[in-house]
A and B are shown apart, each in its own frame.
Chain A
Amino acid sequence: MADDKNRMGKVMNEQEKFEKRKKITKYVLITISVLFVFFMLVMPLFCIVSSSLKQGLGFYFKSVSSKYVVSALKVTLFATVIAVVINTFFGLCAAWVTTKFSFKGKQVLATLIDIPFSISPVIVGLAFLMTFGRLGWFYPVIRWFNSVFGANVRIAFAIPGVVLATIFVTFPFVSREIIPVLNAQGKDEEEAAALMGAGGFKIFFKITFPQIKWALIYGIILCTSRALGEFGAVNALSKTRGETFTLPLEIDALYMSGTENSITAAFAASSILVIIAVVVLVLRNILEYRAKKKGQEQAAS
């Protein structure tokens, strides 16, 4: 009996030790994560905001409303809107085709879609330059077009180039969000609808779209953030400040010019992007929360 009790005590001890170790692991991991996020993310972002206000609110508003910054903001928003619209459409098509149909080279296509994820944006920019620039193989076509129609279309070092680079860099985001959802849902529902005589549009809007709605919105948000912040690819194709510069390029230019005022202005311009990023983040969380709540409501009632 006594022996039994002893053994029990020992077992309890080991169990307690195990629980304790679990607790220690938990707190160590929490500390590491929090410290990392603080020093790598929160503090730098806070520095941007505080630095941008170093010379007062008046200077802040003056620098964000300067000619160059406003032009850069316009270019950025323009490129972003076009990139998001085109990539949403393209992403839907690509996701649809790779999940609902089987054909030769499907895997190749799926891999190609991911290229922008794995390739450096600078290389993308250079690639476009080598395609549409004066030395590019496509340049004769542009020149011919301009001479025939009397137009003055330019791609490299002009807005179209900026837009193209932004599209390229951001195009996998929408399809990458939708593909797993479409794969998980299978095609039974579409087949059932088709069997009852529903056409393609009806099937898409009544059956498929409700399934992918949240994934699509999430993909669009990611695509937007990425498009707003794109630097490398655009940098290779945009060289005129106040005309083709996007906000990240303008920030870089301000910072590089090195005067105290311009550095503060760079921070001020940066704060615009930070604010947009935070807004997007909040928007995303609201959407996620609503989606979750809706799911719970459906499951609960």
Chain B
Amino acid sequence: MRKLVAHRREDHVAVAVTDLAPGEEVEVSVLEGGPPLRVLVCEPIPLGHKVALRNIGEGEIVREYGEAIGRATRPIPAGAHVHTHNLRSLRWDFGRKA
């Protein structure tokens, strides 16, 4: 049974398909194919939530499905929970557009 799934190999995040506990080293299946990746989970991750697959810098564009899903609002270490506390949409930002 797989526990963490990424869409593309280049994605910054994978999705937990079961609840994960900190300290677990988990294999990451990649839907586009190829050998699994590995990540050491460092926070509790509920089913459906995202884990960083590598260190992500503040301000970096975060990718899932091979596409941009937002920008990191603070540094995110590999294995951390990625959600509204550290990732923000690049859209719905009409006031700031040129």
Asked if A pairs with B, the answer is no
On B, residues with C-beta under 8 Å from A are: none
